[in-house]
Amino acid sequence: MIRLEPGKYAYLGYRVENGVLFIDSTYTPPEHRGKGIAAKLVEAAISYSKENGLRIAANCDYAKKYFERHPEYSQLLK
């Protein structure tokens, strides 16, 4: 979760099951979109996945598009 201003947060919804980090959702308030905030959240999930030996299942549309744009991370995908 990233606090953007009082009462405004961006977050990544995830769960870990059986060695897989499932990225289920990302959310950035409309007035903060287009600034790379969701990308930073996905990158944090990638770092966490690498540090903990987890595969990634990108379930939300943003995460799917992120991995399409960054094929260098495709080896992490389930």
pLDDT tens digits for 55-69?
999 999 999 999 999
Residues in the chain where the model's pLDDT stays below 70? none
Phi-psi region of 41 (alpha: psi -120 to 50; beta: other; left: phi over 0): alpha
At 47 the pLDDT is: 98
CA distance 64 to 62: 5
Beta carbons within 8 Å of 50's beta carbon, 6+ residues apart: 76
At 43 the pLDDT is: 98
2-76 folds as Aminopeptidase (3.40.630)
Tell me the CA end-to-end span of the chain in Å, nearest whole number.
24
